[in-house]
């Protein structure tokens, strides 16, 4: 077995980078039983944890990059091992030594884009607000109530730009005083942190925090559960505390206050896919469902694997930037589950999930049978 450093050094580094709870593992194997990878191929997080205990981690292999940080095994581990901290610690070591196996190599291009333009696509920073062309979306100033932070995918990706526009339209119709910072924003940094590039994460986070403070931002509405998780749970490490609200929470509050007015009907069978970073990681399960159920005409059905037991789309933990063979994509399984329910639409609330599920529609050639929607796209049609 090859290792990149002597045993003790690896053990020390895993500890230093936050993976010290691996020693609690008693090898029960529960994590392997629940991990979605074992529905498409063979993968053992239990083995990775075991090797980490003895400093025998194989840093150069793809295995340490597989975990999507879906949160399922940590939520069920009887010894609170924190498997995600372990794999992130191992990835930090790999990043330190510049070791990237084949399917992981594209992430280096992502790093370059984030360093030069503040987004993973290496798109022109100045074009970050082009998604709002033709909409009355204003710049955020100190007097604006809420900052809307669409995130990178909604700012640049043609499919997801539609979601940014739908979201802004619903907010405008509901009379919300919000603005954007456009080219002044960076990526939140969530995925590169999970990929082990802590230095780049810290740089992106510090720049965002400075921008927020300089502009007097206090309340931030986000579309991406990944931005939500990072702003809410990780930026406080820098001794700041913004009020962070996911769009589904915010719109549900507007609905209850009578500011979001549903005027139309939506006569379709729909189901909802819980994004890992909205549901399992942050406990936001009900707001998206309540929003959908409040729309007249909707026939809502629950997927078999839902809420805490939701099936990951496969894109978290920076997997969104790595290559996954078509036959190993969790999103294919998820789409098949929705097809089994005979729904017209699979609805979710995360740009990574939308991207994965739209890819699966093409891979499985079921574009005519089922649509993939973000909640705000439906709300835009009925408000």
Cβ proximity to ligand SF4, 151 vs 314, nearer residue: 314
Regarding 320 and contact with ligand SF4 (CB under 6 A), the answer is no
Q: Which residue has the tokens 């969790």?
A: 330
For the CB of residue 343, give the shortest distance to ligand SF4 in the complex, in Å.
25
Regarding 30 and contact with ligand SF4 (CB under 6 A), the answer is yes
| Per-residue contact flags (x/-) with ligand SF4 for residues 65 to 84, judged by CB under 6 A | --xxxxxxx---xxx-x-xx
**Site for ligand SF4 (CB under 6 A): which residue of 14, 25, 147, 347?**
25
Regarding 45 and contact with ligand SF4 (CB under 6 A), the answer is yes
Buried b (16+ CB within 10 A) or exposed e, 325-356: eeeebbbbbbbebbeeeebbbbbbbbbbbbbb
Buried b (16+ CB within 10 A) or exposed e, 274-294: bbbbbbbbbebbebbbebbeb
Cβ proximity to ligand SF4, 155 vs 332, nearer residue: 332
Regarding 311 and contact with ligand SF4 (CB under 6 A), the answer is no
Which of 372, 352, 376, 373 has the alpha carbon at shortest distance from 152?
A: 352
Regarding 34 and contact with ligand SF4 (CB under 6 A), the answer is yes
Question: Which helix (H) or strand (E) covers residue 339, if one does?
Answer: helix 330-340
Regarding 27 and contact with ligand SF4 (CB under 6 A), the answer is yes
Scanning 28-36, 88-96, 116-124, 164-172 for contacts with ligand SF4 by CB under 6 A, the matching segment is: 28-36
Regarding 46 and contact with ligand SF4 (CB under 6 A), the answer is yes
For the CB of residue 94, give the shortest distance to ligand SF4 in the complex, in Å.
16
Task: Give the ranges where 174-314 is alpha helix by DSSP (H).
Answer: 190-194, 198-214, 225-229, 247-256, 286-293
Q: Which residues pair with 245 in a beta bridge?
A: 221
In a 13 Å sphere around the CA of 6, the CA atoms on its Cβ side amount to: 2
Which of 294, 296, 306, 316 has the alpha carbon at shortest distance from 346?
A: 306
**Site for ligand SF4 (CB under 6 A): which residue of 10, 11, 14, 35?**
35
For the CB of residue 80, give the shortest distance to ligand SF4 in the complex, in Å.
8
Scanning 45-53, 116-124, 132-140, 215-223 for contacts with ligand SF4 by CB under 6 A, the matching segment is: 45-53
Cβ proximity to ligand SF4, 36 vs 182, nearer residue: 36
DSSP 78-90: TT---HHHHHHHH
C-beta atoms surrounding 8 within 10 Å:
9
Cβ proximity to ligand SF4, 49 vs 164, nearer residue: 49
Close Cβ partners of 47 (under 8 Å, ≥ 6 residues apart): none
Is the distance from CB of 89 to CB of 18 less than 8 angstroms?
yes
Question: First vs last Cα of the chain: how many Å apart?
Answer: 60
Total residues interacting with ligand SF4, rule: CB under 6 A: 27
Cβ proximity to ligand SF4, 46 vs 246, nearer residue: 46
For the CB of residue 121, give the shortest distance to ligand SF4 in the complex, in Å.
25
Give, as one character, the DSSP assignment of residue 117.
H
Rg of the chain over Cα atoms, rounded to whole angstroms, equals 21
For the CB of residue 274, give the shortest distance to ligand SF4 in the complex, in Å.
14
Scanning 21-29, 53-61, 139-147, 290-298 for contacts with ligand SF4 by CB under 6 A, the matching segment is: 21-29
Q: Which two tokens stand for residue 351?
A: 């740009």
Is the distance from CB of 185 to CB of 156 less than 8 angstroms?
no
Cβ proximity to ligand SF4, 31 vs 356, nearer residue: 31
Cβ proximity to ligand SF4, 53 vs 262, nearer residue: 53
For the CB of residue 42, give the shortest distance to ligand SF4 in the complex, in Å.
12
Scanning 32-40, 127-135, 157-165, 303-311 for contacts with ligand SF4 by CB under 6 A, the matching segment is: 32-40
Scanning 22-30, 99-107, 154-162, 172-180 for contacts with ligand SF4 by CB under 6 A, the matching segment is: 22-30
Regarding 282 and contact with ligand SF4 (CB under 6 A), the answer is no
Which of 319, 323, 328, 338 has the alpha carbon at shortest distance from 363?
A: 328
For the CB of residue 85, give the shortest distance to ligand SF4 in the complex, in Å.
10
Buried b (16+ CB within 10 A) or exposed e, 145-175: ebbbbbbbbbbbbeebbbbbbbbbbbbebbe
Residues forming contacts to ligand SF4 in the complex (CB under 6 A) are: 25-31, 34-37, 45-46, 49, 67-73, 77-79, 81, 83-84
């Amino acid at each position: 077995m090859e290792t990149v450093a002597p045993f003790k050094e690896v053990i020390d580094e895993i500890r230093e980078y936050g993976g010290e709870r691996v020693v609690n593992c008693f090898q029960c194997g529960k994590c392997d039983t629940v991990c979605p990878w074992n529905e498409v191929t063979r993968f053992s997080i239990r083995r990775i944890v075991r090797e980490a205990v003895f400093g025998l981690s194989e840093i150069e292999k793809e295995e340490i990059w597989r975990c999507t940080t879906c949160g399922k095994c940590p939520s069920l581990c009887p010894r609170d091992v924190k498997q995600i901290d372990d794999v992130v610690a191992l990835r930090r070591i790999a990043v330190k030594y510049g070791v990237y196996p084949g399917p992981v190599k594209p992430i280096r291009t992502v790093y370059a884009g984030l360093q030069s333009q503040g987004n993973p696509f290496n798109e022109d920073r100045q074009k970050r607000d082009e998604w709002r062309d033709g909409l009355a979306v204003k710049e955020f100033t100190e007097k604006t109530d809420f900052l809307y932070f669409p995130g990178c995918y909604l700012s640049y990706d043609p499919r997801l730009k539609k979601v940014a526009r739908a979201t802004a339209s619903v907010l405008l119709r509901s009379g919300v005083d919000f603005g954007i910072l456009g080219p002044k924003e960076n990526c939140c940094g969530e995925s590169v942190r999970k990929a082990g590039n802590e230095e780049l994460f810290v740089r992106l986070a510090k720049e965002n925090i400075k921008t927020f403070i300089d502009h007097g931002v206090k309340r931030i509405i986000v579309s991406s559960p990944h931005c939500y998780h990072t702003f809410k749970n990780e930026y406080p490490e820098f001794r700041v505390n913004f009020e962070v609200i996911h769009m589904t929470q915010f719109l549900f509050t507007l609905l209850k206050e009578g500011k979001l007015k549903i005027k139309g009907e939506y006569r379709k069978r729909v189901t909802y896919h819980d994004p890992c970073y909205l549901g399992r990681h942050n406990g936001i399960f009900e707001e998206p469902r309540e929003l959908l159920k409040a729309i007249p005409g909707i026939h809502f059905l629950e997927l078999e694997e839902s809420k805490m037991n939701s099936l990951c789309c496969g894109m978290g933990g920076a997997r969104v930037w790595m290559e996954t063979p078509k036959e190993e994509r969790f999103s294919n399984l998820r789409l098949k589950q929705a097809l089994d329910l005979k729904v017209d639409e699979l609805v979710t609330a995360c740009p990574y999930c939308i991207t994965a599920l739209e890819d699966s529609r093409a891979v499985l050639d079921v574009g005519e049978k089922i649509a993939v929607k973000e909640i705000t796209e439906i709300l835009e049609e009925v408000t």
